[in-house]
Structure 1
Amino acid sequence: MTSLRQLEYLVTVVDTGSFTRAAEQLHVTQPALSHQMRALEHSVGGPLLERLPRSVRLTPMGRAMLPHARAALADAERARCAARQASGQVAGELLVATVYSVSLGVLPPALRVWRRERPDVDVRLFEYRHADELRDAMLAGEADLAIGPRPAGWTGPVRTLGTEEFVVVLPADGATESTSDGTVDLAELADCAWVHYAPGHGLAELLDAACAEAGFRPRPAVRTEQTAAAPLLAAAGLGPALVPANVLPAEFSGRVLRPGKPIRRELVAYGRSEPDPLTAAFGEVLAQHARV
């Protein structure tokens, strides 16, 4: 019989990419972890993970099972929180899912206000690299509310938060010409090596699409998983970067230009069904204070 503990082991191995790191995070021995994973694979009738020399990879069976494992763990956590709330131990917990760039630039002001107004409500944040991963997580029931680009074909409630603007970052002493209104044509940067995003990162697709519209394919000088690293690498001279304007710190040393043809992305909050009062209250705070 499959147990929640075994599902937790599977999810942790996948998220850490290593049996060793997963065992450390779970505070169990690696042999115990491996034994439970073998028991889980035996119970489902096939391998879930492919053991590689330096990492692990999900098998087709593993990819099919992973979203259900995450959903089962999320449901169990919500049940635990509901019981604690009924006993008076905690006033509530909100599970919020988003993409990396939004957690960095859009959410902090809203979370600060929420924490000040609702100090008795914990917020657990789940971050994903791509909007499709975020959508899949919500379909699997892993969070109460998702915040990110509008999901295609979503049938649940969706609330528009605003439009995110993207800017081009260059070194402060960069020689690229800009117009008097502080804009730059992306085509002028066609010969540059770019600060790009890692494959699978949602902003990698956005950059590729914007450059394709300008008539070229961006040549990467470096690829990063971290949205916050892109403007810093660009300011350091590795190449131009396309970043959400809201991720730039107030004291930023790089040169910031707007694309001649604006690049924007609608951001929304969405759920599977009509929100409960706690989630609805958080949605109101988002609408008023999210940095979009």
Structure 2
Amino acid sequence: MTTRPKLRQLEALKSVVDHGTMTRAAQSLEISQPAVSRLLADLSGELGFTLLERKDGRLVPTQEARYILPDITRVLEVLKNITDTSQNLNDRTAGHLSVACLPGFATSHLPAVVTDFLRTRTDVTITLEPDRPERILEWIIGEQYDCGITDGFDGHPAIDSTTLDIRTVCIFPKGHRFAQLKKVEPEHLDQERFIHTRRDSRFYRALSDVFHKASVAPKHVVEARQFTAACELVALGVGVSVVSEIDARTYQDRLEFRPFAPSIPHKVSLVRPTHKLPSRITLDFMEAFKASLNDFVA
């Protein structure tokens, strides 16, 4: 055999074996009966043996054809799977997405976004990898993840980003005196037991500037790297804090919150590798995530 069998020839043989006649095979393949005969003759010539014999009015495979039929069936099934998967990818219903994110998002806002995203995408799989902002940026620059959710991003030539300003609020335990206020201002926090984010963060520096200008000095009792940890501590009565409204609403059954003035937005950046062509699933997910923040944008 000097040439390889063609896909249409294999389909013709499988169809005749399944239907027993050239006529029915031709109808199934939506081609003429002479076309089926020609495909089988060419395939027989290329393989070097007879493929079919007539028995009781039906065409049945020869012993040699029976031997290769399982392989032909597997080839056709693989090609069908490739076609179906390609269609699913074009329809954005299949594929894999890897997302690096801040630990707080992994346990608060993001699960609901992922749930909604997968509801109509039954064949899509997602990897969520939480870590600190520095590591997330390393992964995105190295093209190890499709996209990332981080904060404090100042730009990088290997990263494409969209940054959103998220409203922040003052959170406090249920029954706290702040519940009588319409909004919490810096002077209300003077000498108040305060839970704050990490000292090297942009958000902490902005908040500290506000306290300094207002000449107030909260009692810093806990430094928590993530807003979710601050929410948990506030819910347990350790103190008060200023956090993203996204996280505050996640804990609204266990604590209370009010707008904080002046406004100090928390910047959330959605990032992806600049030099890696994003899949349609990646772009759809990024749009879904941005849309999920619409109610929290400052």
Match of 1:154 among 147, 150, 156: 156
Pairs within 5 Å for 1:1-292: 91-129=94-132, 131-149=133-151, 151-155=153-157, 156-160=159-163, 162-176=164-178, 179=181, 182-197=182-197, 202=201, 205-215=202-212, 218-247=218-247, 248-249=249-250, 251-273=252-274, 274-290=277-293, 292=296
**Unaligned regions of 5+ residues in structure 1, if any?**
1-84
Shift of 1:159: 3.3
Residue 24 of structure 1 aligns with which residue? none
- What is the TM-score when the length of structure 2 is the normalising length? 0.57
Q: For 2:135, what is the secondary structure of its paired residue?
A: helix
Conservation of the 8 A alpha-carbon contact between 2:196 and 2:224: yes
Identity of aligned residues (%): 19
Structure 1: distance between partners of 2:238 and 2:255: 12
Conservation of the 8 A alpha-carbon contact between 1:230 and 1:241: yes
Q: Name the larger-Rg structure.
A: 2
Q: For 2:177, what is the secondary structure of its paired residue?
A: coil
Structure 2: distance between partners of 1:170 and 1:289: 25
CA displacement, residues 109-154 of structure 1 (integer Å, 9 cap, x when unaligned): 321121112221211111123x333222211323110122362122
Question: Aligned letter for 1:102?
Answer: F
Q: Judging changes above 3 Å, is the alpha-carbon distance between structure 1 residues 217 and 290 closer, same or farther for their aligned structure 2 residues?
A: same
Conservation of the 8 A alpha-carbon contact between 2:166 and 2:266: yes
Question: Aligned letter for 1:142?
Answer: Q
Question: Aligned letter for 1:147?
Answer: I
Q: For 2:250, what is the secondary structure of its paired residue?
A: coil
CA displacement, residues 21-52 of structure 1 (integer Å, 9 cap, x when unaligned): xxxxxxxxxxxxxxxxxxxxxxxxxxxxxxxx
**How big is the alpha-carbon RMSD for the aligned residues of Structure 1 and Structure 2?**
3.1
Runs of 4+ in 1 over 6 A off after TM superposition: 85-88
Structure 1: distance between partners of 2:114 and 2:144: 19
Structure 1: distance between partners of 2:225 and 2:125: 27
Q: For 2:97, what is the secondary structure of its paired residue?
A: strand
Question: Aligned letter for 2:266?
Answer: R
Q: Judging changes above 3 Å, is the alpha-carbon distance between structure 1 residues 177 and 196 closer, same or farther for their aligned structure 2 residues?
A: same
Structure 1: distance between partners of 2:172 and 2:152: 29
Structure 2: distance between partners of 1:144 and 1:227: 25
Conservation of the 8 A alpha-carbon contact between 1:190 and 1:218: yes
Q: For 1:271, what is the secondary structure of its paired residue?
A: strand
**Unaligned regions of 5+ residues in structure 2, if any?**
1-80, 89-93
Conservation of the 8 A alpha-carbon contact between 2:113 and 2:289: yes
Q: Judging changes above 3 Å, is the alpha-carbon distance between structure 1 residues 178 and 263 closer, same or farther for their aligned structure 2 residues?
A: farther
